[in-house]
Amino acid sequence: MVKPKLVFISNTTEVGTVYKKRELKAISNFCKQNDLLLYLDGARLGSALTSPKNDLTLTEISQLVDIFYIGGTKNGALLGEAIVIINERLKQDFRRHLKQKGALLAKGRVLGIQFLELFNGDLYFNLAKHANFMALKIAEAIKKEGYKFLTAPSSNQIFPILPNKLIEKLKKNYAFYVWNKIDEKNSAIRLVTSWATSEKVVNDFISELKN
């Protein structure tokens, strides 16, 4: 069998939850004790760091993992992610590995300029905060209607459990995944908001949900 070497986690997770500091520390310690590398997928890192339930900073993450990336595509960038390599051993020949895999861009500076602008002031975090706020506003309205959630709302991904009849009605005007069948009459759906989600669309969705 393949020898395990890497622990791969995502923050936020695929179900919209965030890692707490004590959890990431525990995983990091386990990896160090067992000579494993810890990689953090940060496609939604902005959302994680600005979640009301987050207690981690970007600096603390960099102290606990070997390598992570700062997601740009899902937080306002046209394309691209910024890889941050902490472990010195992993830095060796990294550019050659990129070229070997066909991933070395001749015009990579175009990607870099986006991150310079995203981290000029608080833009990166403000965009993520907006995405979270829009989702949590929807979550609050869903709670008031008496519905429950597959996981507790923490970020811009929420998973309400709704009657199948209501889901079919909402599908007429909104695109989303049916994530999981709960029983014969109810399913969990995945709703995702972004940096570009307008409050008007959110209010329209809430209004349609109530009606």
Which residue reads 């050659």 in tokens? 96
Helices (H) and strands (E) in the chain, counts: 9, 9
pLDDT tens per residue across span 154-179:
999 999 999 999 999 999 999 999 99
Q: What token pair was written down for 80?
A: 């691209």
Q: In the prediction, which pLDDT does 138 show?
A: 98
- How far is residue 142 from each of residues 139, 153, 210, measured CA to CA in Å? 5, 11, 9
Q: What token pair was written down for 57?
A: 């900073």
Average pLDDT, the chain: 95
Calculate mean pLDDT across residues 2-13.
96
CATH class of residue range 6-118: alpha beta
pLDDT category at 109 given cuts 50, 70, 90 is confident
Q: In the prediction, which pLDDT does 34 show?
A: 96
pLDDT category at 107 given cuts 50, 70, 90 is confident
Fold of 126-210: Aspartate Aminotransferase, domain 1 (3.90.1150)
Residue ranges of domains in the chain: 6-118, 126-210
Query: pTM value?
Result: 0.91
Query: For residue 70, how many C-alpha atoms fall within 13 Å in the half-sphere facing its CB?
Result: 22
Residue 105 confidence (pLDDT) above 90: no
Which residue reads 């007429």 in tokens? 172
Distance in Å from the first CA to the final CA of the chain:
55
Question: How far apart are the C-alpha atoms of 179 and 181, rounded to whole Å?
Answer: 7
Q: In the prediction, which pLDDT does 66 show?
A: 98
